Amino acid sequence: MRLSRYFLPVLKETPADATVASHRYMLRAGMIKQNSAGIYTWLPLGHRVLKKIEQIVREEQNKAGAIEMLMPTIQSADLWRETGRYDAYGPEMLRITDRHDREMLFGPTNEDMITDVFRSFVRSYKDLPKMLYHIQWKFRDETRPRFGVMRGREFLMKDTYSFDLTKEDAVKSYNKMFTAYLNTFARLGIKAVPMKADTGPIGGDLSHEFVILAESGESEVFCHRDLVEMAPPGDVDFEGDLSHIFDERTSLYAATEEMHDAEEFAKIPKDKQLSARGIEVGHIFYFGDKYSAPMKATVMDSNGKPQNVMMGSYGIGVSRLVGGIIEACHDENGIVWPKSVAPFGVGIINLNMKDEACGVAATDFYEKCVEAGLDPLYDDSPDRGGVKFSRMDLIGLPYQIVIGPRGLKEGIVEVKDRATGERQNLSPEAAMNLLVEAFA
Ligand code: 5CA
C-alpha cells in the first residue's frame, strides 16, 4: 500500500479524554473513530489489525475442532424468557421493539440462541460432542464504557459453545478450549494467564478468565509468577487427553479479585507471589444444564433415555484484544505490534521524494516487498523526514526501511527494528533477506 493512496487519518494532538495508552494511540494512529460512547468506527488501519486477530482466533478454534457458523445480532426476547435471563440481565441489555411491537434485543451473548439451534436439530448422543462458534458483534449497555475498545458497548466477540452427554465429556471440551486459548494468545504475541474466575450472569461452577497483566487493567489479579512464563502447549492432539495441560496450569495459584483467597496466596514463596492489574481477554465457562434444562435441549443416551445436554461457553474479546495487545506492546513513541497482528509487515520511508534515485530505489524495494508477501506500507508522502519517522513509530510496524540520498550513494538502506530500536545499514538485497527471514 502506498500511503498517498491510503486512508490514515493520524492525529497530531493527544485526545484529552483518552486516559490509557491504547486508547490514545488508537485514536492518534487513525485506527478508530468514536461514534458515540463505547461505539467505534474501525478505520482501515484498525480494521486490518482486528481482522488479523480474528483470523488467528479462528484458526486456533478450527484446530481444536470447533465449527464456525454465524448467528444474528438481533434476537427475540422469547428465547431469553425461556431461560429467565430476559429479566435477569437488567439494564445492560439493549431492548428493541419492532414495528409489530415484538420485543427484540441486541445480543450481549448467545447461550440461549445456540441452545435453541441445538434442540432444533440434535437428537442423539451419537452426534456428540459438538463445539460451535461464531465471531459476531455484541452489545452491552455498560454503565461506564471506557478505555476505548477495551470496554465498549458494541464489541466483537468470538463465542464458542460446547455440547456433551456427560459432565465428564464436557470437561474434556473445556480442556480443549483451555488449550486452544493458550495457543491463541501466544500466537497473538501476548502472555495471557488463565485464572480462576467468577461466572457472573453466564452462570456455572467452573470458570477461567485469561488475563493480560498490564498497569491499566481494570481489575486486580493474583498469581504464581511461574504461570506468566509458561510455554504454550503448541501442536497437540485435540482428540487426545489434554488434562495434563489444564492440571499443570491450575496447580499454580491464579485468581481474579472475586475468587482471591489471601490464605492460599500467602502459601506461595514470597518471591513468586505476583499481584498485578489485569485485562480480561478471554473467559470460559462450564455450566452443565443451566440452559438445556429450562429450554428442554435433550439428547437420547445409549439406553434411549433423554438427557439434558451438558454445555459450556467460551468467549474471546476480539475487539478488546486490539487495545489489550497495545497495552502490553507500546513505548513512549507509539505502538510496537507483534509481527502476527501488525497491520502491515514493514514501513518504507522515502526521505526525499524529489530525489530521482530515492524514488526509483524506494519503489523498487516496495514492489519486491509486495512480491515477497511482506505487506509493505510505503510512505511516499511529501512530508518531512521527522514527520515520517514519528508517524511510522506511532503506527508501530515491526520494521522500517529508510531510504535516503546519502545512503543510496553508498548502496545502503537503513533497517530499523521497531521493538528493539536497533538500526542496521544494509544493501537493499540484504535488507530484503532480513525481512523475509523475520516473517518466515
Ligand atoms: N457467553 C460467554 C462466553 S462465550 C460470555 O459472554 N463471556 S464474557 O461475558 O466473559 O465475555 C467474553 C469476552 O468478551 C470477555 O472475556 C471480554 O474479553 C469480552 N468483553 C466483554 N465485555 C466487553 C466489553 N464491554 N467491551 C469489549 N469486550 C468485552
Digitized pLDDT (tens) for each residue of the chain, 440 residues in all? 999 999 999 998 888 889 999 999 999 999 999 999 999 999 999 999 999 999 999 999 999 999 999 999 999 999 999 999 999 999 999 999 999 999 999 999 999 999 999 999 999 999 999 999 999 999 999 999 999 999 999 999 999 999 999 999 999 999 999 999 999 999 999 999 999 998 888 888 899 999 999 999 999 999 999 999 999 999 999 999 999 999 999 999 999 999 999 999 999 999 999 999 999 999 999 999 999 999 999 999 999 999 999 999 999 999 999 999 999 999 999 999 999 999 999 999 999 999 999 999 999 999 999 999 999 999 999 999 999 999 999 999 999 999 999 999 999 999 999 999 999 999 999 999 999 999 99
- In short, whether 139's Cβ falls inside 6 Å of ligand 1 is no
Which residues constitute the domain of residue 42?
Answer: 3-335
Does residue 210 sit in the same domain as residue 351?
A: no
- Which stretches within 285-351 are classed as H helix? 318-328
Sign of CA dihedral 178, 284, 111, 144: negative
What CATH number is given to the structural domain containing 390? 3.40.50.800
Residue at which a domain ends, from 309, 335, 361 = 335
**Ligand 1 probe mutation, 39, 53, 320, 321, most atoms within 8 A of CB:** 320
Does residue 217 sit in the same domain as residue 331?
A: yes
Inside any domain, residue 340: no
pTM listed for this prediction? 0.97
Does residue 399 sit in the same domain as residue 318?
A: no
Does residue 33 sit in the same domain as residue 170?
A: yes
- In short, whether 159's Cβ falls inside 6 Å of ligand 1 is yes
Does residue 330 sit in the same domain as residue 350?
A: no
Backbone angles phi, psi at 389, to 5 degrees: -60, -50
Distance 319 CA to ligand 1 centre (A): 10
Residue at which a domain ends, from 335, 364, 380 = 335
Does residue 170 sit in the same domain as residue 48?
A: yes
Residue at which a domain ends, from 308, 335, 362 = 335
Locate cell 518471591: which residue? Answer: 271
Query: In total, how many domains does the chain have?
Result: 2
Inside any domain, residue 243: yes
Strand pairing report for 67-68 and 130-139: parallel
C-alpha 63/C-alpha 42 separation (Å) is 28
Inside any domain, residue 341: no
What CATH number is given to the structural domain containing 74? 3.30.930.10
